[in-house]
Amino acid sequence: MRKAKIYIPNKSPMQSGLGKTNKWILEFETNDTSTNPLMGWESSNDTYSEFKLEFSSKELAVNYAKKKKIDYEIIEPKRRKIIKKSYADNFLK
C-alpha cells in the first residue's frame, strides 16, 4: 500500500501574505531511496513521490485517498498567533 500525507503547506519565508496557503496537498512518501554512486546524491526510482495533488478542502483529499485505497496521515495546520501592535506603543512606555 502507498502511504501519503495530507497537509496545508506553510507560507514561504519570502512571503508576507498568506497566499497559496488555503489548498490541501496530498503527497506520497518516498520509497526505495538510494545514493547515486557518481555524484553521491540521493535518488529514487519511485515516481509517485514526484507529484503533489492539490485539493480545495481536507474532505476532498480524504475522500480521494479512501477511494483510491491510499493509507494517509493528516497533518493539521498550526494556527498563527496574531499579536495586535500599534506604532504609538513605541512611545508610550
Cell of 81: 498567533
pLDDT at residue number 1: 64
User: Does residue 30 have a pLDDT over 70?
Assistant: yes
Contact in structure between 43 and 35 (CB atoms under 8 Å): yes
Q: How far apart are CA 87 and CA 23, in angstroms?
A: 34
pLDDT at residue number 78: 84
What confidence tens digit (pLDDT) does each residue in 50-84 have? Answer: 889 999 999 999 999 999 999 999 999 888 788 88
Cell of 25: 496537498
Look up the CATH number of domain 3-92: 3.30.160.190
